Structure 1
Amino acid sequence: MKITAFKTYMQRVDDRPRLLVKIETDERISGWGEAYNHGPDWALPPLLAYLFEQIVGEDPRRVEFLVLKLHQQCRFPPGALGLAAISVIDHALWDIAGKAAGLPVYMLLGGNVRDRVKVYCGVYTAPDPEAALAQTSELNERYGYTAFKLSPYRRDLHAGRWGELVRQTGDYFGRVREITPSHFEFAFDAHARIFEPYQAIQLAEALAPYDPYFYEEPIRPEHIPAWREIKSKVRVPLATGESLYNRFEFLSLLTAGGADIIQPDICVVGGISEMRRIATIAEAHYVTVAPHNPMGPLATAVNVHFAAAQPNFKVLEFKPHVHAPWAVDPYIPVDGHMELRPDRPGFGIEIDEKALERDDYIHWERKITRKPDGATAYP
């Protein structure tokens, strides 16, 4: 079997652009992947065309060999765009390997260690407690979710006194706990918007009395000693990792004792191959893995197969999609879990190529925050 061609399709999932990639072979077996849109969106197709020249004519089932080759042809470590491109190639190759073997990808990873994959739903805002009850109850009734993620910010964190925001956060979570079912789990994503570590610690203390599922990414990821300091002083599970790129960065975080839960993104770190190395390092530090997954149906399918085979997997982020017409049969939660598809080879998801013929691109860009004094900040 040899790689013969690749195609890219700029599409969207709900209100975000998504680049889909198809790799074809001379045996009419093809594989699919979904690329992370770090932006600029249109930078990825020419980059993928360049990388494709490194693997055309090769056996696609030699996934580790080909991904290693792509890394080694880069004189310097690839950044966000380079790793997004390598990740989507990795995914498509695993899809081909599974289809060629007639097996689900998770069977090629050593087989499933669990029968289904737990998911949580990102709400991403801080709705009034009564609205949060209504929203989470609907998600529970429809999909069986019992775990959710909220924002800890009830207002602009740069407007007004910080201590007042902290108090409001504690009061808010207390009220949410009071009126929602006791078995519901609530995580809080601070979205790396806090600059001072002591403020991250104060916010964690406001959440602690009400048992958060985890406290995600209060500060930026770059300075590992700050994560060690925060983790040593908080009483809640600390999670981070969506902005880290490879096993070496995660090794630094874990050896510093900087997290209880890591959140690598399988579309960012280089694909399944690198994701498994990262997870193994975490396992050796008694740390669990909750993959970052704000993506579409294809990326979710890849995550499900990784999670099925990974012993220290904890929970997968997944928000149901409203608009992704190219995904014929996406994975959808049942009883708060994704069911495995043992009778389907590859990632077990069908792509409607007819739907991809229609231009469905939507432009999106991240907006920065402006502080009251006019300075910029992370959104």
Structure 2
Amino acid sequence: MTSIARIEWFLVPPRWLFVRVETSDGVVGWGEASLEGFAEAVAGALEHIKDRLIGHDPDRIEDAWQMCHRLGFYRGGPVLMSAISGIDQALWDIKGQRLGVPVWQMLGGKVRDRVDVYAWIGGDRPADVAEAAARRKAQGFRAIKMNGTEDLGWLDSPSRLAEPVERLRLVRETGMDAGIDFHGRVHRPMARQLVHALEPLGPLFIEEPLTSEHPEAIAQLAGQTHVPLALGERLYSRWDFKRLFEMGAVDIIQPDLSHAGGISEVRRIAAMAEAYDVAVAPHCPLGPLALAACMQIAIATPNFVIQEMSLGIHYNRADADLATYLEDDSVFAIENGSVAALTGPGLGVRINEARVREAARDPHRWRNPAWRGPDGALREW
């Protein structure tokens, strides 16, 4: 019987963690377990998972998922679920290669031929957004996302709201649709004001208007605006999303396939969302394996709407961008705001293993910055 013979992981620039699973008959699958700022913790969780899965049948993906999730007694959370995500993606990649079909074919087949995408502009402290939006338009994008604000006080001057409104106006004048990410930086006393100020300019959506531990306040905010509210990068399982659905607190969910249990769990979360007429737009400011996994979900999921793409995102580097570790980056070619359905077996991308191993010789230690206000108090990044 074929079994899982080897599990490895690689911390590669700019801030990613790739997982490699090899079977006893030599089939290799790749996944991405990137958890920004906590890669070392995920590597520790993978050590635990490795003890469980060596010798396991790679075709039993759901059984492997359940073992990793349930048998450690402590469940959920970003670290464990990110580790499971990388393994899950790799096992789907292996199964697709063994059968000679893309993962989406095993999820019921295509419901669309192309996947709408958007890209980031503006950085952590957004600036020059009109020029950046124009460059994205020239690359073939029709939509972008940018941070709504720089750091913001729990209660700040109303004058601080003028800058995000002006930035959105400039971007909209380029003809681009724009999602606005509050990034959890905006607390309740300011969130309602900022959503109200942006609404007349027609944002595509507002992301993380508040952090996800405040579903009651998000539901109240949803009842006060016509702008679609998006949320979910800091939720890690169907159980985390359940309360948001029941409260009617969100219009678009954004589970991250490298944080929320991989293809298996995000497929279940998306099906739950469909029952509440909620759209799916997976979070993915990460690497090519995460994006390939997202594409498999997008191609096979009716309530999918748009996919985040990390091409040239401000977290990347010239020597470590979306295509750096790929053998062929044409699979993510953008045309008129969308990417064609991936057709290769498994995840549909080919990783340059030699390049990954070379990059992992100097593993990254990426950390997000610590921001403080004028009074010295910590602010959300």
Same fold (TM over 0.5): yes
Match of residue 174 from structure 2? 180
Alpha carbons 1:304, 1:338 under 8 Å: kept:
no
Alpha carbons 1:205, 1:235 under 8 Å: kept:
no
Q: Where do 5+ consecutive residues of structure 1 fail to align? A: none
2:244 alignment partner, one of 244, 253, 278: 253
Aligned pair 1:190/2:182, yes or no?
yes
Shift of 1:132: 2.6
Inter-partner Cα distance in structure 2 for 1:216 and 1:298:
23
1:166 alignment partner, one of 161, 164, 170: 161
Listed as ranges, the matches of 1:360-375 within 5 Å are 360-375=362-377
Inter-partner Cα distance in structure 2 for 1:133 and 1:374:
32
Partner SS state of residue 149, structure 1 = strand
Inter-partner Cα distance in structure 2 for 1:221 and 1:238:
12
Listed as ranges, the matches of 1:73-222 within 5 Å are 73-125=71-123, 127=126, 131-142=128-139, 144-153=140-149, 156-158=151-153, 161-177=156-172, 179-181=173-175, 184-196=176-188, 198-222=189-213
Shift of 1:221: 1.0
Shift of 1:333: 3.4
- Does 2-11 or 319-328 show the bigger shift? 319-328
Q: Residues 206 and 272 from structure 1, CA distance in 2 versus in 1: closer, same or farther, beyond 3 angstroms?
A: same
| 1:317-373 residue CA offsets vs partner (Å, 9 max, x unmatched) | 00215425322123423212121232x211111111221232253321112221222
Look up the equivalent residue of 1:7 and give its one-letter code: E
Inter-partner Cα distance in structure 1 for 2:255 and 2:41:
23
Look up the equivalent residue of 2:146 and give its one-letter code: L
Count, aligned residues: 367
Q: Residues 169 and 351 from structure 1, CA distance in 2 versus in 1: closer, same or farther, beyond 3 angstroms?
A: closer
Listed as ranges, the matches of 1:334-373 within 5 Å are 334-335=334-335, 336-342=337-343, 344-358=344-358, 359-373=361-375
Inter-partner Cα distance in structure 2 for 1:195 and 1:222:
12
Match of residue 6 from structure 1? 7
Shift of 1:176: 3.4
Inter-partner Cα distance in structure 2 for 1:136 and 1:377:
27
Inter-partner Cα distance in structure 1 for 2:184 and 2:232:
11
2:34 alignment partner, one of 33, 36, 51: 36
RMSD (Å), alpha carbons: 1.9
Alpha carbons 1:99, 1:345 under 8 Å: kept:
yes
Inter-partner Cα distance in structure 2 for 1:102 and 1:345:
5
Q: Residues 175 and 45 from structure 1, CA distance in 2 versus in 1: closer, same or farther, beyond 3 angstroms?
A: closer
Alpha carbons 2:258, 2:290 under 8 Å: kept:
yes
| 1:250-303 residue CA offsets vs partner (Å, 9 max, x unmatched) | 110011010111111111111111101111111111110111001011111111
Alpha carbons 2:7, 2:22 under 8 Å: kept:
yes
Inter-partner Cα distance in structure 2 for 1:139 and 1:174:
16
Partner SS state of residue 53, structure 1 = helix
Look up the equivalent residue of 1:163 and give its one-letter code: P
Aligned pair 1:308/2:293, yes or no?
no
Match of residue 311 from structure 2? 320
Look up the equivalent residue of 2:138 and give its one-letter code: E
Inter-partner Cα distance in structure 1 for 2:178 and 2:202:
8
Match of residue 315 from structure 2? none
| 1:74-104 residue CA offsets vs partner (Å, 9 max, x unmatched) | 2121321111101100000000010011101
Taking only the aligned residue pairs, the percentage that are identical comes to 36
